[in-house]
């Protein structure tokens, strides 16, 4: 998805809710994540998400650090969390 200047117009973490929910069985868009780059705390729904490539890339809204990478690989969901220091989930 691009805007009129051909720039990618990112989505946000709400858009990742479907694929994550399909595998995890719980909604995680309200999970709280702490950025490994700048320490900012934010809900998953508020992350900046680039979704059109081989997978989804979620970046910190403060410093643009890559916090999550998500891909559906065959029948698996793979989530790379190396940009996230801490992840907090509410009991469903």
Partner 1 sequence: MPGPLPWLPAYLVERRPETAAAATLVLGVPGWPGHLPGQHVDVRLTADDGYSTQRSYSLAAPDHGATVELTVQRVADGEVSPFLVDDLAIGDPVELRGPVGGWFVWSPTLPTRTLLVAGGSGVVPLMAMVRARHEAGAAAPMRLVYSVRTPDDVLYAAELERRGRLDEGLEIHVVHTRRAPPGDARPTGRLTREEIGSLAWPATEEVLTYVCGPTGFVDQVAGDLVALGYDDHRIRTERFGATGG
Partner 2 sequence: MGIVTPGFRGRGRDSAPELPPGQYLTHDFPVLSAGPTPHVETDDWALTVTTEAGARSRWSWRDLLALPQETPTVDLHCVTKWSKLGTRWRGVSLDVLLEDVETAADFALVRCFDGYTTNLPLEDLLDGQAWVAHEYDGEPLARAHGGPARLLVPHLYLWKSAKWISGIELSDTDEPGFWEQLGYHDYGDPWREQRYAGD
Site string for ligand FAD, 9-28 (x = CB under 6 A): --x--xx-------------
38 or 82: CB nearest partner 1: 38
52 or 82: CB nearest partner 1: 52
Residue in the block written with tokens 């990742």: 16
Reference 27, options 43, 11, 40, 42; nearest CA is 43
Give the binding-site size for partner 1 (rule: CB under 8 A): 28
Instruction: Note whether 1 binds ligand FAD by CB under 6 A.
Output: yes
Instruction: Note whether 66 binds partner 1 by CB under 8 A.
Output: no
Point out which residues bind ligand FAD (CB under 6 A): 1-4, 11, 14-15
């Amino acid at each position: 998805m691009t805007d009129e200047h051909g720039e990618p117009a990112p989505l946000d973490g709400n858009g990742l809710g479907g694929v994550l929910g399909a595998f995890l069985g719980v909604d995680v868009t309200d999970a709280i994540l702490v950025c490994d780059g700048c320490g900012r705390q934010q809900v998953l729904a508020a992350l900046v998400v680039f979704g059109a490539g081989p997978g989804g890339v979620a970046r910190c809204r403060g410093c643009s650090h890559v916090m999550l990478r998500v891909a559906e690989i065959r029948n698996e969901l793979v989530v790379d969390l190396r940009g996230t220091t801490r992840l907090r989930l509410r009991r469903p």
